[in-house]
Amino acid sequence: MLVSLGRKSVCAVFSICVIGAASHAQTTSQKWLWCSGKQSTTIDRRIESCNSLIDTLDVAPAHKSLAYCNRAIAYRELGDVPRAISDLEESVRLDTEKYPSLICRAHHHYFTGNAERAIAGYSEAIASNPRRPEAFIARGAVYRSIKEFDRAIADYDESIRLAPDDALAYANRAEAHLQAQRYDQSMKDFNEAIRRDPNMTPAYAGRAKARAALGSEPRSLDSH
């Protein structure tokens, strides 16, 4: 089970910037909602909205970087990888902060199945801002996908250090312990995730697996 490394996690990194960029006009605000995918619409409208924001003169370069990132996500979903890559590079070029666009580019590599480049990309994002927890969680998920559980757990440890109340980090670390057959540690972390977010359904399912494993012979749960 992979805990919440998806399009929503990209939006979470960008949400503050998108809201700030959108506040000056209702029309622009609606375009941001469509471009970012925060409001459901067709993929064509998402791309059209991002196009409009990119072409608008009074949209700041940092905000245009977000529009390029979101358009790249849409292109990737359409299978148009060359256009997605082009937009990701432009997003990084325009982004003065770098961290959001680097996360976006690393996500692309992860979702297109390139674990090595995803890890390198998340590492670059971490180097640009080591005080943000999102890239640690994301890199940990990639390490888990290639069964490097100790490295994944180290990343989740750092994420929890940076954001001690983040239920998602505990759930991810619990899942890494579960896959590594460290069931006691897994139970503890799932309990912590549930305590912080009682509505996190995957954490209950993971805790049930850890509890069942504690009552049986150790076995691999990598396929779950």
Cα→Cα distances 70→3, 163, 207, Å: 22, 26, 34
pLDDT score recorded for residue 23: 39
pLDDT score recorded for residue 12: 43
Q: Which tokens in the block code for residue 157?
A: 């440890």
Number of Cβ within 10 Å of residue 222's Cβ equals 12
pLDDT score recorded for residue 18: 39
For each successive 10 residues of the chain (224 residues), what is the average pLDDT? 46 40 54 91 96 91 94 96 97 95 96 97 98 97 97 98 96 97 97 97 96 72 44
Number of Cβ within 10 Å of residue 6's Cβ equals 12
* Segment 54-83, tens digit of pLDDT: 999 888 999 999 999 999 999 999 999 999
CA gap 105, 121 in Å, rounded: 7
Number of Cβ within 10 Å of residue 188's Cβ equals 17
pLDDT score recorded for residue 182: 96
Quick check: 101 and 125 in contact, CB under 8 A? no
Which of 196, 201, 134 minimizes the C-alpha distance to 170? 196
Three-class DSSP category at 219? coil
pLDDT score recorded for residue 111: 95
User: For the chain, what percent of residues have pLDDT higher than 90?
Assistant: 77
Helix extents (H) in the chain:
7-22, 26-36, 43-55, 61-78, 81-94, 99-111, 115-128, 134-145, 149-162, 167-179, 183-196, 201-214
Q: Which tokens in the block code for residue 33?
A: 């909602």
Quick check: 101 and 87 in contact, CB under 8 A? no
pLDDT score recorded for residue 87: 97
CA gap 5, 25 in Å, rounded: 31
DSSP string of 163-210, one letter each residue:
-TT-HHHHHHHHHHHHHTT-HHHHHHHHHHHHHH-TT-HHHHHHHHHH
pLDDT score recorded for residue 20: 37
pLDDT score recorded for residue 57: 84
